[in-house]
Amino acid sequence: MKAAMKYLAAFALTLMIPLNTASAVGEDISDLKRLITAFEDISMDSQDLAFFLATHNFDAVPVDGYVRLNLLGKIYRLIPNGNKPGLCDIESEQDI
């Protein structure tokens, strides 16, 4: 019985560690830039990009061919960029 409890505790800790690191992502614009430059996918559309960002703890919603991202109260427009390096171009909603 004690051996089973040890394995159960180890399993629970194994699950908790990735959850803790995932919650640290999505905090600022440098995290966003680091994430989108680390990958490239020429076939990624706004739906895929929003899903990808949401899985990395960003508040992202697909809207008419782009992704609207709320980051610390500031709204950004992320446009999938196809063949260009990275996943998307970033524009501030205030610049549009």
Tally of CB atoms within 10 A around 76:
22
Write the CB contacts of 81 (distance below 8 Å, at least 6 apart in sequence).
87, 88, 89
pTM: 0.68
Are 58 and 90 spatial neighbours (Cβ–Cβ below 8 Å)? no
pLDDT in tens, 58-74: 999 999 999 999 998 99
pLDDT digits (tens, 9 = 90+) for 22-61: 444 457 899 999 999 998 889 999 999 999 999 999 999 9
CB 41 within 8 A of CB 51: no
Q: How many CA atoms lie within 13 A of 41 on its CB side?
A: 14
Distance, in Å, from the CA atom of 32 to the CA atom of 52, rounded to the nearest integer, reads: 11
Q: Beta strands 66-71 and 59-63: pairing type?
A: antiparallel
SS3 content of the chain, % helix, strand, coil (to 5): 45, 25, 30
